[in-house]
Amino acid sequence: MPDIVKLNSARPKVLEFFAGIGLARIGLERGGFRVAWANDYEQDKWDLYRNHFDDESGDHKFALGDISQVSVSDLPRDASLAWGSSPCTDLSLAGSRGGLRAGESNAFWQYIRLLEELGEDRPEVAVLENVVGLATSHGGDDLAAAVRAFNDLGYSVDVLAIDARRFIPQSRPRLFLVGALNPPMDTAEPNSELRPDWLQAVYGDPTLRTHRAALPAPPAPLLEGFGELVEAMPVGDERWWGAERTEAFVNSLAPVQLERIAAMRRSPGVKYRTAYRRTRNGVPVWEVRPDDISGCLRTARGGSSKQAVVKLGNRRLQVRWMTPLEYARLMGAGDYDLSAARTNQALFAFGDAVAVPAVSWLAENYLMPLVRGQLDVAVSGVASARG
């Protein structure tokens, strides 16, 4: 036990808001941090979280309930990092696009409230993770409002776009706002592939305090790899769809897709592709990805949000729903404990999470050096007083 205590004391503490099933925690702890406190309001996610993590030592606290009911007195006062993966329902292209103050996405402001109430004890680094739709919501006003909210607390903000496809075979672009109370002032190269042109407006806004950290180049986006993550399943497994359902799937495909899968079906060996059900001109159809990459996993509350796996080759075609294990692997959490998980519970939870390797890359290359004071940045914008 003394060795464990010593190890934990050397790891900077994290407050994790909107924790879900703890994938951000896994990534942060791989990067050298220790999540000391977490919160989420969904019982199903908490059930998976506590089944996976061993927190019986009492070294970690989880507050189950709406963040609006969390009191600042519940939070540890010595955390170095705050992480918030706030709800994206009203910001994503698949959602209502109501904006940062609408519906569930309004919970972001409760995150800001608690940081504000921490006063001088607020963490030196604060992160917001969300969908890239935040950048275009209300013509960019919502992103500016989020940056300004952190500015009002004394944080300078860097904004990064990172696609999990750089680490895992899943197309999953996300925004990461990194706020720093004390960003270093050394000059660094301001632009990088992590800050595409559509993010540059935030750095040019003179009313915002921003910085751009000098970061290593991230891995190039993967071009393949989904097939390597597919769960082994016998040809006769009952999860493969029957002949009638498979025929309906094939009949819904557009001619160009039919031609593509017919060629793969005739080819030697086995290949895997993912498919989504969409509505085109009022008609539900299936669309198969042309590459060996998964589409973005989503919260599987309806059939249109669930992905199917298509197995092709040796003159055979089979189709089935993607499994919880495949969802976990595609989120970089293949060893997640699913022993007590219901299928839809797991699909929803993983589809609503942040990819582990994207978090760990950010933690290792940005957040930990920033906390340790070992990162160079170029500072721009207008400084604001710490609240």
| Nearest Cα residue to 298 out of 344, 342, 254, 267 | 344
CA dihedral 92, 97, 102, 108 (to 10 degrees): 30
In a domain, 349, yes or no: no
Q: How far apart are CA 171 and CA 345, in angstroms?
A: 22
In the prediction, which pLDDT does 324 show?
97
| Nearest Cα residue to 370 out of 202, 183, 113 | 183
In the prediction, which pLDDT does 185 show?
60
Q: Are residues 148 and 184 in the same domain?
A: yes
3-class DSSP state for residue 262?
A: helix
In a domain, 308, yes or no: yes
What is the distance in angstroms between the CA of the first residue and the CA of the last residue of the chain?
39
Contact in structure between 30 and 356 (CB atoms under 8 Å):
yes
Q: What's the pTM value of the predicted model, to 2 decimals?
A: 0.90
Q: Are residues 179 and 38 in the same domain?
A: yes
In the prediction, which pLDDT does 103 show?
44
Residue 280: strand pairing partners: 283
Other Cβ atoms within 10 Å of 67 Cβ, number: 21
In the prediction, which pLDDT does 214 show?
86
Q: Are residues 377 and 307 in the same domain?
A: no
Q: How far apart are CA 176 and CA 291, in angstroms?
A: 27
In a domain, 77, yes or no: yes
In a domain, 365, yes or no: yes
Per DSSP, the chain holds a count of helices (H) and strands (E) of 13, 13
Q: How far apart are CA 276 and CA 294, in angstroms?
A: 10
In a domain, 140, yes or no: yes
| Token pair recorded at residue 52 | 């996976």
Q: Are residues 318 and 366 in the same domain?
A: no
User: For the chain, what is the radius of gyration of the CA atoms?
Assistant: 22
In the prediction, which pLDDT does 101 show?
53
Q: Are residues 68 and 205 in the same domain?
A: yes
In the prediction, which pLDDT does 47 show?
96
Structural domain that includes position 286 = 232-322
**What angle, rounded to 10 degrees, do the helices at 141-152 and 108-117 form?**
10
Q: Are residues 188 and 297 in the same domain?
A: no
Contact in structure between 159 and 147 (CB atoms under 8 Å):
yes
Instruction: Report how many domains make up the chain.
Output: 2
In terms of Cβ atoms closer than 10 Å to its own Cβ (0-12, 13-18, 19+), residue 138 is middle
> At 98, which amino acid appears?
G
Q: Are residues 147 and 173 in the same domain?
A: yes
pLDDT in tens, the chain (387 residues): 334 444 455 899 999 999 999 999 999 999 999 999 999 999 999 999 999 997 765 789 999 999 999 999 999 999 999 999 987 454 444 444 345 554 445 789 999 999 999 999 999 999 999 999 888 887 888 899 999 999 999 999 999 999 999 999 999 999 999 999 988 664 455 557 899 989 988 988 999 999 998 888 999 999 999 999 999 999 999 999 999 999 999 999 999 999 999 999 988 899 999 999 888 888 888 999 999 999 999 875 544 578 999 999 988 999 999 999 999 999 999 999 999 999 999 999 999 999 999 999 999 999 999 999 887 777 777 654 444
Q: Are strands 13-17 and 209-213 parallel, antiparallel or unpaired?
A: unpaired
| Residue 23, CA distances (Å) to 12, 27, 35, 194, 328 in order | 18, 6, 11, 22, 10
